Structure 1
Amino acid sequence: MIDKIRYPIGQFNMSEDVGVEEIKDLITQIENLPHKLANSVGDLSIEQLDSSYREGGWTIRQVVHHIADTYINLHIRIRLAITEDKPTIKLFNQELWAELPDAQTLPVGISLNLIESLNIRLVTLIKSLSHSELNRQFRHPEAGDLNLKKAIGLYAWHGNHHLAHILNFRKSIGL
């Protein structure tokens, strides 16, 4: 049962290839995330934002700030892969980042605005990529070489994954 709570849409399959035909749908998923995310938290109280979506999990506030952190990283990783030859990306300790004071205390609107603004640049950039650019890679220190198609798939999954956490939390409190 914990896996369904922890991974409500299942785990991302890193071995599955992302086809060019899937990219449009993935871009749409990324493009729609800011609106869906804002709608999912817009009516939550401070107490609800500071509640965990599962036992031992982050608060809803931390999840929203985490999504902003990952959007920033995705934007940088794509730009690096386009402009450098298979750069090794820098990882970030998402657990420690979620414990930083800004992730625990700032209003979610700050990250929602950041996500919405960055999303415009991110989606514009992704939509402009040629077939050969979509095959460009970056080196992930833990996962190995990832092409941009797979990275787009991963981040579309990631946004939907955390959105599902929030939506499941809403259901659990009767919203």
Structure 2
Amino acid sequence: MDKRYPIEQFDCPIKVQKKDIQAWIKELSTLPIRLISLTVSLDELELTKTYREQSWNIRQLIHHIVDSHMKGYLRMKLALTEENPLVKTYEESEWAKLTDYNLPIKVSLQLLESLHEQRINLLKNLTTSQLQRTYQYSDGSKMRIEQSIALYVWHDNHHLAHIQQALNN
């Protein structure tokens, strides 16, 4: 198994059905509680554990997950209010070096809970046409909102598996 991809790489769905979206939103809504349950009792030493050599530690993974969800929420709102907006990528590895990644994990976990309350509310109320709206990356590739929901479910499970790997090391 490739430790970088413990649940395989993301396979972006081309065709998406309503039942897929409902299942993904339900799973996405459980992220805060799953992440809190997995990390609430960790001590400072455990938070420094990594899932492989030269990887992010658990603390960095938690802060990264929240950063990623903030970006995803903003991308979705841009797609809902603009016609195929161009969205920026970001240097995740550089963000992980910033001082806010040294903050206690409860700061990011609280932010995630609040952010998810907004995000899940918005997702549950999207129309079929809104789910089809897109945003575009600088390389010209596009992503529909419905596909981005699948991406974030994968992203969450991907990093939760990394945390679990780190705890088992």
TM normalised by structure 2 equals 0.95
Map 1:91-102 onto structure 2 (within 5 A). 91-102=89-100
Cα 1:107–1:57 shift into 2, 3 Å: same
Aligned to 2:12: 14
Query: How many residues get paired?
Result: 169
Q: Any stretches of 5+ residues in structure 2 without a counterpart?
A: none
Contact 2:51 2:57 in 1 (8 A): yes
Q: Cα deviations across residues 54-103 of structure 1 (Å, max 9, x unaligned)?
A: 11110100000001101110110110000000000111110100111111
Contact 1:20 1:149 in 2 (8 A): no
State the AA in 1 paired with 2:4.
R
**Separation in 1 of the partners of 2:152 and 2:140?**
14
Map 1:133-152 onto structure 2 (within 5 A). 133-142=130-139, 144-152=141-149
Aligned to 1:114: 111
Contact 1:19 1:149 in 2 (8 A): no
Identity of aligned residues (%): 38
**Separation in 1 of the partners of 2:67 and 2:152?**
12
State the AA in 1 paired with 2:66.
A
Q: Which has the higher helix share?
A: 1
| TM-aligned CA deviation for residue 15 of structure 1 | 5.5
- Aligned residue among 144, 148, 160 for 1:163: 160
**Separation in 1 of the partners of 2:139 and 2:124?**
27
Contact 1:135 1:148 in 2 (8 A): yes
Aligned to 2:24: 26
Quick check: 48-57 or 124-133, which moved more?
48-57
Map 1:5-84 onto structure 2 (within 5 A). 5-14=3-12, 16-84=14-82
| TM-aligned CA deviation for residue 16 of structure 1 | 4.2
State the AA in 2 paired with 1:80.
L
Contact 1:63 1:162 in 2 (8 A): yes
State the AA in 2 paired with 1:7.
Y
Report the aligned-residue RMSD. 1.3
Cα 1:15–1:25 shift into 2, 3 Å: closer
**Separation in 2 of the partners of 1:20 and 1:144?**
23
TM normalised by structure 1 equals 0.92
Quick check: 11-20 or 124-133, which moved more?
11-20
